[in-house]
A and B are shown apart, each in its own frame.
Chain A
Amino acid sequence: MTDQTHILLIDDEPSIRQPLTEYLERQNMRVTEAENASKARSEMRKARFDIALLDIMMPGEDGLSLCRHISETADMPVILLTAKGEATDRIIGLEIGADDYVVKPFDPRELVARIKTVLRRAHRTGQVARDAQVSGYEFDGWLLDTIKHQLTDPEGVHVPISAAEYRLLNVFAEHAGQVLNRDQLLDMVQGREANLFDRAIDNQVSRLRKKIEADSKNPELIQTVWGGGYMLAANVTQIIADERS
């Protein structure tokens, strides 16, 4: 079964590794366990993995250091498992090359959804994009930071948006100037939350417009294309993260 997703699970707690492996295997995934960083390194030499699940707090070499090593040497996405809810920890993780994170205790179904999203994105953007990672998009003075998942308006004011709105805007920015119909948007936006599927894309778009349009009844940024769908009508500049030393 070469189609099976092969996961490298690195966590020092057997009480988490064991049931998680069990669960992921029931989701038709293949899991290799490692209880510390050096074991993980040796597993990586033996086999090729599709994705790594990495605990940040481990005795010995910690998760962040291993994460940096992986993002520099291997072409493998990383999802961090973190016990701390502190925003700074997550941001450091994302800045040193992790693709996503979940906070313990996490919903295993959400973890699976994120694994799928990260893998889909990795396939879509391919290897070239990973070398020069996009750290944000700029459009019409607005800044969408794809590391911190933050939106900043032209005056530099932080505009809080929900996770769903962030993903929608991210998709719009990636496909600026392209008309995206509702099915395409649903397909690209679907991520962590199951209830996203229940909600109309229209609803999300209208919420997003309230936050970024000067007049949400007369939208200029996210335009409705009659009979087609929506489009981000602005010049979008990709911001490339600095090369990491």
Chain B
Amino acid sequence: MMRLWPKSLAGQLLLSLALALLVAQLINAAMIYRTQKQAIENQIASSAAVRLIGAWDRVEAGQPLTRGDNRGKHRRPRWMRRGRYALSAHNPITPGMRRLPNVEDRLSDYLGNNGLEIQDIAIAHLDQPMPQRRRRQLANEALDSKNGTYRTTILAAVQKEDGQWLSARYAAPPRRGNINGFLILQTLILYLVLLVPMALLIRRVSRPLRTLTKSVHEFRDRQEPVTLTPSGPQDISQLTQAFNDMSARISTMINEKDVMLGAIGHDLKTPLAALRVRLENMDDDAQRVQMIAGVEDINRTLDDILVLARVGHPMDAPEQVNLTALIQTVAEEFADLGKDVELAESPRIVMPLHITWMRRAVRNLISNAVRYGEQARISLYQAEDSVIIRIDDDGPGIAEADMARMFEPFARLESSRNLATGGSGLGLTLARAIAEQHGGKLRIANRIDDKGVVIEGLMAEFTLPRITT
């Protein structure tokens, strides 16, 4: 059911409107049918009343009802010729006939108002045509001129106080023309008049909205402002204009940020460089070594901040890189510093990468592992549609509650893992940003063994999507 409900603005609006119109038309049709039914009942009741009152008067006056004695002053009036009248001891309306209770009520009102004292009343609609004697009548009356069918018969009867039934039999009033066709035509015209202009209007609204959505998606990857031509109704064109203004503001901000970061880079690195050179002239060896480490720490943090700010705005396109050799090279850097780094035998994997950033991400992950976990065991393998770099350590791991916070910039944990560290606090943030830059992701988790039991140590899983060619 929900699948039939359209998702777009245009579809929903048009469908709701069509449904509402349909409901309105159904109510309308019901009311028309009801009115028509009442009119017909009225007509049957009043024509029966006229006939029965007339016949009653004749019976009271002792005049004949039938054609047999039909001359002189007892001559039947004209209206009586179009019907058949009878007096009988029993009710002529038998249980099998289709009775009209509404008409009976109405008829009893009419007769009561005219002072007729009646015991019972019955009226029925017979489906057979009125028996005719003369051809002329057949031609004029029995045949319904409108739809060419024979008119059906009404049989009305009243029981007088003496128990006798006075009955009148006459042709039912002609059926009105079929109103179904009229209603369907009316509905179609309504649909045409309402829905077509509505569809055009909605198109004018939804087309600029679609363009806008597309531009918002594209804007994510660009630094230049996007300018759309405002179109559609005022509300929509104002929205487009607002989007243009916003994209211009964001572009300005991004560009200002890049300029500012460049300036920070230069303005902080120059005094740092001066400090670094001066330190070399210091005599106290122990002090000098400590201060040099301090300067290098500041410099690393500064580099991390600058890179983090630039990730997402690549300066140049990725190039085909031998990822295996890249990881080997980084692992060897750590090995040369006396760290315990182990790289498992790995297949040669070549993929498009931003090499400088990728090297930094791998370096950060290995650096975390050797800093907190004594040993880094690196493996590189190819999954079905991705390439996975996995780095295991033997450290204390991270409490599950702190896991998500690890990716926040400058996250500081209570656990032993973050005491006495060094490092900028940006390592994982940066590694994840670089993974996302490559369309991949970074996941960290406490290591579990084959039986699902948590063992000492943390695992970092850096996944890169594999574009098969």
- Count chain A CB atoms within 10 A of each CB in B269, B273, B278, B319 and give the residue with the most: B273
- In the complex, whether B299 has a CB less than 8 A from a CB of chain A is yes
Q: Does A125 contact B (CB under 8 A)?
A: no
When distances are taken between beta carbons in the complex, the residues of chain A under 8 Å from B280 are: 19, 23, 107-109
Residues of B within 8 A of A13 (CB): 270, 274
Q: How far is the CA of A130 from the CA of B318 in the complex (A)?
A: 32
CA distance A87 to B336 in the complex (A): 24
- Give bound CA distance, A195 to B336, whole Å: 8
B265: contacting residue among A85, A156, A159, CB under 8 A:
A85
In the bound complex, CA of A153 to CA of B280 (Å): 41
Cα A20 to Cα B278 with chains together (Å):
7
Could you tell me which residues of chain A, from 65 to 122, have a CB within 8 Å of some CB in chain B? 81, 83-88, 104-109
Please report which residues of chain B, range 302-337, place their CB below 8 angstroms from some CB of chain A when the two chains form the complex: 303, 306, 315-316, 319-322, 325-326, 328-329, 332-333, 336
Residue pair B350, A157 in contact (C-beta under 8 Å): yes
- Is B281 within 8 A of A83, CB to CB? no
B24 contacts chain A at the CB level, 8 A cutoff: no
Q: What are the residues of chain A within 8 A of B355 when measuring CB–CB?
A: 158, 160
Cα(A57)–Cα(B266), bound, Å: 9
Residues of B within 8 A of A245 (CB): none
Option from A57, A158, A211 in Cβ contact (under 8 Å) with B320: A158
**Docked pose: A106 CA to B274 CA in angstroms:** 9
CB distance from B330 to the nearest CB of A (A): 8
B276 contacts partner chain A, Cβ-Cβ < 8 Å: yes
Find out whether the CB atom of B266 lies under 8 angstroms from the CB atom of A162: no
Contacting residue for A106 out of B273, B316, B333, B336, CB 8 A:
B273
* Chain B 277-296 interface residues, beta-carbon cutoff 8 Å to A: 277-278, 280-281, 292, 295
> Which chain A residues border B359 with CB–CB below 8 Å?
160
Whether B325 lies near A160 (C-beta < 8 A) is yes
Contact check, A207 vs B269: say whether CB atoms are below 8 A apart. no
- Chain B residue nearest in CB terms to A87: B356
A210 surroundings in chain B (CB, below 8 A): 325, 328
Between A88, A157, A160, the greatest number of chain B beta carbons within 10 A of the residue's beta carbon is seen for A160
B333 closest partner in A (C-beta) = A162
Set B274, B321, B322, B329: member contacting A16, Cβ < 8 A: B274
Residue of A88, A156, A159, A207 ringed by the most chain B CB atoms within 10 A: A159
If A85-B303, A85-B306, A157-B350 touch, whether A15 touches B274 (CB-CB below 8 Å) is yes
Chain B: residues with Cβ within 8 Å of the partner, total of 37
CB within 8 Å of A: which of B253-285? 262, 265-266, 269-278, 280-281
Residues of B within 8 A of A158 (CB): 319-322, 355
Which residue in chain B gives the minimum CB-CB distance to A151? Answer: B325
A47 to B303, CA, bound (A): 39
Contact A83 B325 (CB under 8 A): no
Task: Please state if B329 and A15 are interface contacts (CB–CB under 8 Å).
Answer: no
Q: Which of B276, B325, B332 has the most CB of A within 10 A?
A: B325
**What residues on B are CB-neighbors of A81 within 8 Å?**
273
Interface: A239 (CB within 8 A): no
Which of A22, A26, A155, A157 has the largest number of chain B CB atoms within 10 A? A157
Chain A, residue nearest B350 (CB) = A157
Assess A20 versus B303: contact at CB under 8 Å? Given A88-B315, A156-B320.
no
Q: Which of B269, B295, B329 contacts A83 (CB 8 A)?
A: B269
* Closest A residue, CB atoms, query B326: A160
Name the residue among B266, B292, B322, B359 with the largest chain A CB count within 10 angstroms. Answer: B322
Given contacts A162-B332, A211-B328, contact A105 B320 (CB under 8 A): no
Partner of B295, one of A19, A105, A207: A105
The answer to whether B325 touches A159, judged by C-beta atoms less than 8 angstroms apart, is yes
Chain B: minimal CB distance from A31 (Å): 12
Q: A87-B356, A195-B336, A199-B336 are in contact. Are A157 and B321 (CB under 8 A)?
A: yes
* A188: interface (CB < 8 Å): no
Interface assignment of A161: CB less than 8 Å from any CB of chain B: yes
Which residues of A lie under 8 Å from residue B299 when comparing CB positions? 105
Query: Contact partner of A104 among B270, B319, B326, B329, CB < 8 A?
Result: B270
Q: Known interface pairs A108-B280, A211-B328. Does A88 touch B316 (Cβ–Cβ under 8 Å)?
A: yes
Residues of chain B contacted by A199 (CB below 8 angstroms): 336
Q: Is the CB of A105 within 8 A of B269?
A: yes
A54 to B193, CA, bound (A): 80
Q: Is there an interface contact between A161 and B266, defined as CB atoms closer than 8 Å? A: no
User: Do A207 and B332 have beta carbons less than 8 Å apart?
Assistant: yes
Q: Are A86 and B266 in contact (CB under 8 A)?
A: no
**How far, in whole Å, are A106 and B279 apart by their CA atoms in the complex?**
11
CA–CA, A236 and B207, complex, Å:
62
Contact between A160 and B321, CB atoms less than 8 A apart? yes
Interface centre among B262, B276, B280, B350 (most CB of A within 10 A): B280
Given the known interface contacts A15-B270, A16-B277, the answer about A159 and B306 at a Cβ–Cβ threshold of 8 Å is no
- Residues of chain B in range 397-454 having any CB-CB distance to chain A below 8 Å: none
Collect the chain B residues with CB atoms within 8 Å of residue A195's CB.
Answer: 336
Contact B275 A105 (CB under 8 A): yes
Question: Are A211 and B325 in contact (CB-based, < 8 A)?
Answer: yes
What are 30 A-B interface contacts by the 8 Å CB criterion? Answer: A15-B274, A16-B274, A16-B277, A19-B278, A22-B281, A23-B281, A57-B266, A83-B269, A83-B270, A84-B265, A84-B266, A85-B303, A88-B316, A105-B269, A105-B272, A105-B273, A105-B276, A106-B276, A107-B276, A108-B276, A108-B277, A153-B322, A158-B319, A158-B321, A159-B322, A160-B326, A160-B359, A162-B329, A195-B336, A210-B325
Top 7 closest pairs, chain A to chain B, by CB: A104-B273, A15-B274, A105-B273, A105-B276, A160-B326, A105-B272, A83-B269
Further 5 A-B residue pairs, CB within 8 A, beyond A15-B274, A104-B270, A211-B322: A108-B277, A159-B322, A161-B329, A207-B328, A211-B325
